[in-house]
Every structure is written in C-alpha cells, then in structure tokens.
Amino acid sequence: MDKDKDYTVILPTLDESGHIKNLILEITEIFKLNKINYTILVVDDCSNDGTIDIVQELKKKNSNISIIIRNNKKKSLVDSLNDGIKNSNSEFVIWLDADYSHPPKYIAEFINYNIKYNYDLIVFSRFLKKSVRYFDGSSLKSKSIEKMSNFLNKVCQLLLFKDLTDYTSGYICIKKSFFQDKYLNGYYGDYFIELLNRAKLRNASIKELPYTERDRETGYSKTTSNKLSLVVKCYFYAFRILICFLKKIFKIK
C-alpha cells in the first residue's frame, strides 16, 4: 500500500468543550507529520456547552475539519457514526471516543499498518496482554461498567469468535468499502459487537492491536451517568449478542 490513501476521522461529540480543541489539533498534527490526506469530521449531537462553537472556529482555520450538527434528531451514538460514515469519501474511516479515553496518538499505528498490510479492519483492544487500562498502576478506580464490559466480552468470545478480544472497543480503522451495502446497527456500544460479527462472517481480515487507555479528559461519561440508561444498554447488549449468535449459526452475513 502507498501513502496516497486518505482518511476520515469521525468524532461523535456531545458536550466535549473541555478538550475537543486539543483533541482535534493533536489528530491534525499526526496527519501533517505523516503527510497523509485527511478529514476530521465532527458529528455533534447538539451539544450545549460550546463544543460546536469551538469546532466552528477551528474549521475556519483548517479546511480539513468538517462538522455535522444533528439538529432535531434523537441523540444517538450509532446514528452519529452512520452520519459520519455516509458523509466520508475516503479510503479509510477511523472513529474513536471524543473524550480522550482513546488516545489519538495511536492513529499513527493505523497509518503504519495500512502502509505495510491490507487489513479490512484494525481495532485497538483493551484486553490484549500488552494493553494497559486507565486504572492500572494508578490511584484511579475502575468504573462499575468495567465488570459488565469484561463479562460481555467473555460471553462474546464464548458464543461468537474466540480470536477477538474486545467486542466493545469503539476504536477502529476500517475500509469505507466495507459499508457498501450495510451500515452500523445497534442501540449504543452494542453496534461494535454486530460490526465485528459481520466482519468475521464475511471473512474480512481483522487485526487487533494493544494500546494504553486513558480516563476521560474532562466532563462526565454518557454511559454511566444514568443508572436506568445503563440498565437499558445492558438489555440491548444481551439482545445484540443473541442476534449475532443466531447469525453466526445460520451464517447470515
């Protein structure tokens, strides 16, 4: 592969004003250093903390930055990602959490692997031996959702494909051509389970890489801030695993 391939980095945002500028500038620097064509596409779920204003100011200075504001639409991570994918025109699509828990410096590894190899999907996994969690060796305590995340991934390995370790990663580089006939499907983070299951059923080439996770930079987690919402998400995760298991059994791609 050559370095003429281009990338769209999708950042789904909701009230990320405390760090969105630094995040975008850091991503920009990575592509400039590697002399790679890129677009940073911020898909905002109608933030009301100034996130949109910050991105608009950055956009004035950098034509590689774009923003989609999801006015009058139901807040949805999956729909935000689909809006970003549909509006991307690049060879590769990357997305990551916009809270800095997925350090953007690892985008350089996506680029390097795509230069050397030809994987359809490259995923950063929290559960490889060389990976480091945000609470490892620090005074930070793991969040309550971590137990659920560990359990879900063990169930996925049991019922779906044992060679994958992080079914709820959310940090990925994928070929845009993968979405020619079908986009992401899910309620929240369960979309990633469906995506990996579909990729395996289609015999797509997948590479998992280790990384060092961070705690979110500022603000609060949208996943754990509401206990009722977390319970609902757990239900949809379980439902998604069941659907994916049935698709695996009946080889539904």
Please give the model's pTM, rounded to 2 decimal places. Answer: 0.96
Q: Classify residue 120: in a domain, yes or no.
A: yes
Q: Kindly state the average pLDDT of the residues 201-224.
A: 89
Q: Classify residue 21: in a domain, yes or no.
A: yes
Q: Classify residue 68: in a domain, yes or no.
A: yes
At CA 247, angle to CA 246 and CA 249, rounded to 5? 65
Q: Classify residue 116: in a domain, yes or no.
A: yes
Residue 1: its pLDDT value, please? 39
Q: pLDDT for 4-16, tens place per residue?
A: 689 999 999 999 9
Q: Classify residue 200: in a domain, yes or no.
A: yes
Total number of domains constituting the chain: 1
Q: pLDDT for 17-28, tens place per residue?
A: 999 999 999 999
Q: Classify residue 33: in a domain, yes or no.
A: yes
222 band by pLDDT with thresholds 50, 70 and 90: low
Q: pLDDT for 101-148, tens place per residue?
A: 999 999 999 999 999 999 999 999 999 999 999 999 888 888 878 888
Q: Kindly state the average pLDDT of the residues 50-77.
A: 97
> Does the pLDDT at position 149 exceed 50?
yes
Residue 2: its pLDDT value, please? 47
CATH number at residue 79: 3.90.550.10
> Does the pLDDT at position 170 exceed 90?
yes
240: containing domain: 7-249
Average pLDDT, the chain: 94
Q: Classify residue 1: in a domain, yes or no.
A: no
Q: Classify residue 198: in a domain, yes or no.
A: yes
